[in-house]
């Protein structure tokens, strides 16, 4: 009996490792959009995975588990954001030469990332969930633990800030 339980635990651990290998990059990307910093994003994903890995075997499929992990990422981010010592940390500035610009799409992406990095953390989290993760206002409200009106106002203010961002200004080339 103990050998069977140990075999199931090993299978579950191997399946979890496979899941992290396959989806870890996407989870890191979501965390990076929230934090604007590579190391904080790694810490956020690691923290969320360490909080959730014991529940992996209780989910029917990886898609359901990923929703659980992403919710944990967002809630952990908000709890870190509320802590005083997290707010004292400032992400490193993004320097223009830090991005390789192969074509206009990469340049626009770099500009968008710079503009997002200038937003307050909660606005960035709301915009990330609403527009990058395609969540409803109600879902964002539940995930971040804030009222729906606050979600709407942060989304409105964040979009207004992005519209006026110098990083996203339409620059026409002289003819």
Cα separation, 29 vs 32, whole angstroms: 5
The answer to whether the beta carbons of residues 73 and 48 sit under 8 Å apart is yes
Q: Domain holding 159: CATH number?
A: 1.10.10.10
Tens of pLDDT, residue by residue over 87-113, are 455 555 555 544 444 555 667 777 778
Tens of pLDDT, residue by residue over 58-82, are 998 888 999 999 999 998 988 876 6
**Last residue of some domain: 74, 92, 110?**
92
**Last residue of some domain: 92, 118, 137?**
92
Q: What residue numbers bound the domain in which 40 lies?
A: 1-92
- CA distance to 61, 100, 105, 117, 120, per residue, from 170 (Å): 44, 20, 14, 19, 23
Could you tell me the pTM of the whole model?
Answer: 0.55
Tens of pLDDT, residue by residue over 150-166, are 999 999 999 898 888 88
Please tell me whether residues 87 and 102 are part of one structural domain: no
């Amino acid at each position: 009996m103990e050998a069977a339980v140990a075999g199931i635990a090993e299978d579950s651990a191997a399946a979890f490792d496979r899941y992290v290998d396959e989806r870890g990059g996407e989870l890191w990307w979501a965390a990076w959009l929230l934090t604007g910093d590579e190391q904080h994003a790694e810490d956020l994903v690691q923290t969320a995975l360490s909080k959730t890995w014991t529940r992996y075997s209780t989910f029917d499929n990886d898609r359901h588990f990923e929703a659980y992990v992403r919710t944990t990422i967002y809630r952990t981010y908000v709890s870190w954001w509320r802590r005083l010592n997290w707010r004292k940390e400032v992400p490193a500035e993004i320097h223009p030469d830090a991005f390789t610009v192969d074509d206009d799409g990469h340049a626009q992406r770099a500009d968008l990332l710079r503009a997002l990095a200038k937003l307050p953390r909660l606005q960035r989290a709301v915009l990330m969930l609403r527009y990058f993760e395609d969540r409803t206002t109600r879902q964002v409200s539940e995930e971040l633990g804030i009222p729906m009106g606050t979600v709407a106002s942060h989304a409105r203010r964040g979009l207004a800030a992005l519209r006026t961002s110098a990083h996203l200004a339409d620059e026409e080339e002289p003819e």
